Amino acid sequence: MTQCDIAAMKATHPVFCTIVPPHVLDKLAQADDPALAGPARRTLEADAAQRTHRRLTTVLGAPPAAPPADAAGDKPHRTLYDAQHRQELPGVKVRGEGDEPGQDATVNRAYAGLGATFDLLLKAFGRRSVDGNGLPLVASVHYGENYGNAFWDGRQMVFGDGDEIFRDFTLPVDVIAHELAHGLTQYTANFTYFGQPGALNESVSDVFGSLVKQYVNDQTAEQADWLIGAGLLAERVTGVALRSMKAPGTAYDDDVLGKDPQPATMADYVRTGRDNGGVHINSGIPNRAFYLLATALGGKAWEGAGQIWYDTLTGGGLQVDASFTDFARATVAAAHARFGDGEEQEALLKAWSQVGVPTG
Amino acid sequence: MRIGVRRTGGFAGIERYAEVDTSGRPDASEWQALAEEAVAAGRGTPPIGVPDGFSYQITVDGKTVYCADPRLTEAQSKLISQVLTEGA
Ligand SMILES: [Zn+2]
């Protein structure tokens, strides 16, 4: 038994089981040669997994606000903050649950988007908030100056007003739901935010983001546009959205932004150390599998395909470092448990096979 | 002094890089003080970021440090924003 094994057995503190110094690992991990970058990245990834776990434990131990007395009920508990263009969280409280809409359209959109996400989780899947236990939903808007991004910090959502490329990140409801779905993943499968599990984490957020948009618009799978972030690109950018679940790689092609780098199948899987190992790139593959399943089944996507994805995410059968193949196999098991050997099973196997992810 | 900022990740996963060469600039000493403060608080390896959060790589005269949203110091946040706005 090595010293690392021993350390890992009593791992109350982070364990660094490598003889390669972190800065060398980091250099290797940044290398463009995947043969060099791969092993270094995997080591850093193991470290990241531990830290993600610690963060989750922290979050579970200390929710952002005490749930109200009726949290076990069927109502969201939303609190909106205005970061006032600074980068300190959460900022100044501007709207609590049940308060009337104010003058700020960004606040109102975020409030409505959180409500829509809460609604879908409850009505379609019987889940009370992202943790299943009425977790209060907290979001800050107007974050930073000229800030073209939105993120989930482990406890709350954060939205910027955009920059020369992106508009206000609260404009598309699927972007709001995408961020909140990172909370859902954190409290369930908790996929490590790197490489394939990281791309699954991203894909799950796109899937639930799109489902919330379809739910709000009362659309069937055929009627949906399957775009993520439609309306987010500034007028001068050539593109329709940030990602397309239907046709990954086709959302934009712009002289400043470049071309949408998402692959649609495993044959075009992108190996990179950037973007946490391409989490926003390779998510195109499971995204398209979901689209293929949902359109094959037809009707409301959250009823069939969405239910299978939800069961997979919450089923407890996946490791935090699950690969695409692990996830695909788990969807097959979840579909079998939920729907038996019906058309769902057949459509699911076909969808994964079309994107080149083995299920056998 | 050459100050480079590489921003990766984010909701869009699109990378940006910009660089400022302070030599000959009238405000070179302000840049230098800000850069030194930002680098002193940086890490030698990339911190694990949050979902969709930006990660940054700051390089000052060949020395590189890392930081990530939402945990930037004021100096890091100011330097990053200045370099990405004014740099080429
Ligand atoms: Zn995301």
Concatenating the DSSP letter of every residue in A67-114 gives PPGGGGSS---EEEEE-TTSS-SS-EEEEETTPPP-S-HHHHHHHHHH
Q: Indicate if A180 and A201 belong to the same structural domain.
A: no
Mean pLDDT of A149-165: 96
CATH of the domain at A53: 3.10.170.10
| Nearest beta carbon to residue B44 from set A22, A48, A275 | A22
The pLDDT of residue A8 is 37
Q: Is residue A148 part of a domain?
A: yes
The pLDDT of residue B48 is 78
- Whole-complex ipTM: 0.92
**Would you place residue A11 in the very low, low, confident or very high pLDDT band (cuts 50, 70, 90)?**
very low
CB contact under 8 A, B15 and A275: yes
End of a domain among A132, A158, A186? A186
Percent of chain B whose pLDDT exceeds 70: 100
Residues 6+ apart with CB under 8 A from A358: A325, A328, A352
Q: How many residues make up chain A in this entry?
A: 360
**Would you place residue A67 in the very low, low, confident or very high pLDDT band (cuts 50, 70, 90)?**
low
Q: Identify the contact set of chain A against chain B, taking CB-CB distances under 8 A.
A: 22-23, 25-26, 44, 47-48, 51-52, 87, 89, 145-146, 148-154, 158, 166, 169, 175, 178-179, 182, 193, 201-202, 205, 229, 242, 257-258, 261, 274-276, 278-281
The side-by-side arrangement of strands in the sheet containing B16-21 is B16-21, B2-9, B54-60, B63-68
Geometric angle at alpha carbon A286, from A246 and A58, rounded to 5°? 125
Interatomic CA distance for residues A59 and B65, integer angstroms: 28
Interatomic CA distance for residues B67 and B44, integer angstroms: 9
The mean predicted confidence, pLDDT, of chain A is 85
Q: Indicate if A229 and A321 belong to the same structural domain.
A: yes
Residues 6+ apart with CB under 8 A from A108: A95, A101, A102
Mean pLDDT of B23-30: 94
Q: Is residue A303 part of a domain?
A: yes
- Decide if A280 is catalytic: yes
CB contact under 8 A, A89 and B70: yes
The pLDDT of residue A239 is 97
| Nearest beta carbon to residue B51 from set A25, A201, A242 | A201
Q: Is residue A298 part of a domain?
A: yes
CB contact under 8 A, A193 and B51: yes
Q: Is residue A359 part of a domain?
A: no
Which residue did the predictor score with more confidence, A32 or B65?
B65
Structure tokens at A9: 């057995």
Task: Indicate whether B55 pLDDT > 90.
Answer: yes
Q: Indicate if A211 and A101 belong to the same structural domain.
A: no
| H/E element, A149 | none
Question: A35 is in which domain, residue-wise?
Answer: 3-186
The pLDDT of residue B87 is 85
Structure tokens at A51: 């830290």
Contact A244, A228 (CB under 8 A): yes
The pLDDT of residue A162 is 96
Which residue did the predictor score with more confidence, A337 or B47?
A337
Q: Are strands B16-21 and B2-9 parallel, antiparallel or unpaired?
A: antiparallel
The pLDDT of residue A69 is 52
Q: Is residue A23 part of a domain?
A: yes
Q: Indicate if A9 and A119 belong to the same structural domain.
A: yes
End of a domain among A186, A219, A241? A186
Mean pLDDT of A228-232: 97
Question: B19 is in which domain, residue-wise?
Answer: 2-86
Q: Indicate if A127 and A233 belong to the same structural domain.
A: no
- Count of domains for chain A: 2
**Would you place residue A273 in the very low, low, confident or very high pLDDT band (cuts 50, 70, 90)?**
confident
Task: Indicate whether A1 pLDDT > 50.
Answer: no
The pLDDT of residue A48 is 45
Interatomic CA distance for residues A191 and A198, integer angstroms: 6
**Would you place residue A124 in the very low, low, confident or very high pLDDT band (cuts 50, 70, 90)?**
very high
Beta bridge partners of A81: A93, A140
Q: Is residue A119 part of a domain?
A: yes
| DSSP code of residue A30 | H
Interatomic CA distance for residues A168 and A241, integer angstroms: 13
Q: Indicate if A159 and A202 belong to the same structural domain.
A: no
The pLDDT of residue A193 is 95
The pLDDT of residue A60 is 38
Q: Is residue A360 part of a domain?
A: no
Q: Identify the contact set of chain B against chain A, taking CB-CB distances under 8 A.
A: 8-15, 44-46, 48-55, 66, 69-70, 72, 77, 81, 85
Task: Indicate whether A169 pLDDT > 60.
Answer: yes
Q: How many residues make up chain B in this entry?
A: 88
- Count of domains for chain B: 1
- Decide if A179 is catalytic: yes
End of a domain among A158, A186, A214? A186
Phi, psi of B47 (to 5 degrees): -70, 155
Q: Indicate if A177 and A199 belong to the same structural domain.
A: no
SS3 A59: helix
CB contact under 8 A, A153 and B77: no
Mean pLDDT of B27-46: 95
The pLDDT of residue A280 is 97
Q: Is residue A153 part of a domain?
A: yes
The pLDDT of residue A143 is 97
| DSSP code of residue A239 | B
Residues 6+ apart with CB under 8 A from A341: none
Task: Indicate whether A81 pLDDT > 90.
Answer: yes
Mean pLDDT of A2-16: 35
Q: Indicate if A95 and A223 belong to the same structural domain.
A: no
Task: Indicate whether A21 pLDDT > 50.
Answer: no
Interatomic CA distance for residues A226 and A206, integer angstroms: 9
CATH of the domain at A311: 1.10.390.10
Lowest mean pLDDT among A27-36, A217-226, A275-284, B43-52: A27-36
Q: Indicate if A120 and A35 belong to the same structural domain.
A: yes
Mean pLDDT of A138-160: 96
CB contact under 8 A, B11 and A158: no
Contact A205, A182 (CB under 8 A): yes
Query: Is residue A157 left, alpha or beta, with left meaning phi > 0 and alpha meaning psi from -120 to 50?
Result: beta
Mean pLDDT of A329-353: 97
